[in-house]
Amino acid sequence: MGHAYNADDLLDEKSQALENALYVALNTLEESAIMADRMALRARGRGQVHAAARFEGRAKEARQKAVVIRRILTEETSDTAR
């Protein structure tokens, strides 16, 4: 006999997959922000003020998105603990 999934098992599996995807997205956004900061610093050092401002804007946007995802993950963790 094969393993029969019930609704709870399927929901747990999908929830875990979603959580994993959110952690990947969070890490990617944080890495993007760090990279954009480095590029902004280099651009500013070369006198490329407009390029530096664009990179700084990208870093800020990535960090804002990361905050939202981190909040979702934190709420999920605290909800699970209850």
pLDDT of residue 3: 60
pLDDT of residue 80: 63
Q: Crossing angle for the helix pair 7-45 and 49-81, nearest 10 degrees?
A: 160
**pLDDT tens digits, one per residue of 16-57:** 999 999 999 999 999 999 999 999 999 999 999 999 999 999
Residue 47, Ramachandran bin (φ over 0: left; ψ between -120 and 50: alpha; else beta)? left
Q: Does residue 1 surpass a pLDDT of 50?
A: no
